[in-house]
Amino acid sequence: MINKKGMEFSWIFAVIIGIVILFLAFYFVGSKITRQDTQEATGTVNSLDILFNPFSYLGAMGAVTSKPIGLSKESSFTFDCDSVDLGSNTISLDTGVSRAVYDKYIFADNFRAKTIQTLSKSFEMPWRIADLIYVFTGDYCFVNVPLDLENELSKLEINNLQIAESLSECQENSTIVCFGSSCQIKVVSTSGNYYQGYVEKNGEDLYFSGDNYALLLGAIFSRDKAYYDCNVQRLAYRLGLEIQVYEKKKEELIQDGCVININLDTLKQVDAALKSRVNQNSINGLYNEAKNIENLNYNSECPLF
């Protein structure tokens, strides 16, 4: 009888211990796999941030490489924007890992890809405020591009960016961007030379200005109007900070005996207007004042920038 009871107990004991050991083994393996995924995702997101660093200081239209950048594995990326103060762009992976970058202005759509194409262009208003980074996947076809922009883009020889003279030349499945005519993404000029205007995309108007097409390209590659406007507001905030730097520099130069007739107050006002609301008026206001200051600076004995 005792033996039978002892046997029953030993069986129950062995089963319980077995369950505990199996549970621990599964838990350990499961958590190890999850941790490895998180570790890889963290590495990918951080590497992408580091990879974008060279694109953020080129200062002119440039591609560190015109070849696409390969990632370690196919991943889904989403981009978010926050415009409070300096603001940030948040790069997130589908695994939930994300990284906020405060020094970069990334104009991109959400995508799932293993290779990405990246370009960079400086945003000057009137001086270089920051370098904008454009990230895209898939093929793009630009139809009737202004000649100076066509020359810039052609030099880069990007395989998935086709320059065409008519819609029929565009490859199938490419995202078509038309300058002056209607298609998927329509670029409308309000100044006759595409220095001022808007990009019509998914029923939304994304306003741009600037004579080096930096914001125009930003509008084309941005996910939507909210994301684009947020980045423009971040740039306006950055300009506000740079105005402070140039005001102090102006004081230094005046102390050194320079005569400077550049007043940055109006620039500050139009910048504040753009920071509070992005529309055709605010963006054109900044452009016009920037051109005005650029001329004053060019003719100044002591240039500020």
Partner 1 sequence: MKKGQMKIQEMAFVLIAVIILFGIIFLFYARFEFNKVQSLSTELREERAITFIRTVASMPELRCSESILKVSEAACLDLDKLKAFNSSLSLRNSYRKIWTSSYITEVVVQEIFPGNSIYKIYDETPGEESYFSFMPLCSKDKCIIARLIVSIRLK
Q: Which residues bind partner 1 (CB under 8 A)?
A: 2-3, 6-7, 9-10, 13-14, 17, 24, 28, 35, 39, 43, 46-47, 49-50, 53-54, 56-57, 59-60, 85-86, 88, 100-103, 127-130, 241-242, 244-245, 248-249, 252-253, 256, 258, 297, 302-305
* Least distance CB 160 / partner 1 (angstroms): 26
* Least distance CB 99 / partner 1 (angstroms): 8
Return the number of the residue (148 or 165) whose C-beta is nearest partner 1: 148
Mapped onto helix, strand or coil, the DSSP state of residue 99 is strand
Burial of 136 (0-12, 13-18, 19+ CB in 10 A): buried
Does the bond joining 68 to the residue before it have cis omega, within 30 degrees of 0? Answer: no
Return the number of the residue (42 or 280) whose C-beta is nearest partner 1: 42
Return the number of the residue (26 or 57) whose C-beta is nearest partner 1: 57
Distance from C-alpha of 61 to C-alpha of 218, rounded to nearest angstrom: 13
Return the number of the residue (22 or 165) whose C-beta is nearest partner 1: 22
Instruction: Count CB-CB contacts under 10 A for residue 68.
Output: 17
Please spell the DSSP secondary structure of 213-239, one letter per residue. -HHHHHHHHSS-HHHHHHHHHHHHHHH
Give me the half-sphere count of Cα atoms (radius 13 Å) on the Cβ side of residue 187: 26
* Least distance CB 3 / partner 1 (angstroms): 6
Return the number of the residue (87 or 285) whose C-beta is nearest partner 1: 87
Return the number of the residue (183 or 243) whose C-beta is nearest partner 1: 243
Note whether 170 and 149 are within 8 A (CB).
Answer: no
Return the number of the residue (88 or 175) whose C-beta is nearest partner 1: 88
Q: Are strands 140-143 and 111-124 parallel, antiparallel or unpaired?
A: unpaired
Distance from C-alpha of 248 to C-alpha of 6, rounded to nearest angstrom: 89
Mapped onto helix, strand or coil, the DSSP state of residue 245 is helix
Mapped onto helix, strand or coil, the DSSP state of residue 211 is coil
Return the number of the residue (57 or 165) whose C-beta is nearest partner 1: 57
* Least distance CB 202 / partner 1 (angstroms): 31
Distance from C-alpha of 8 to C-alpha of 188, rounded to nearest angstrom: 84
* Least distance CB 195 / partner 1 (angstroms): 20
* Least distance CB 7 / partner 1 (angstroms): 7
Q: Write down the residue that tokens 């603001």 correspond to.
A: 87
* Least distance CB 126 / partner 1 (angstroms): 11
- β-bridge mates for residue 132, sequence order: 105, 121
* Least distance CB 162 / partner 1 (angstroms): 29
- β-bridge mates for residue 99, sequence order: 91
Note whether 232 and 129 are within 8 A (CB).
Answer: no
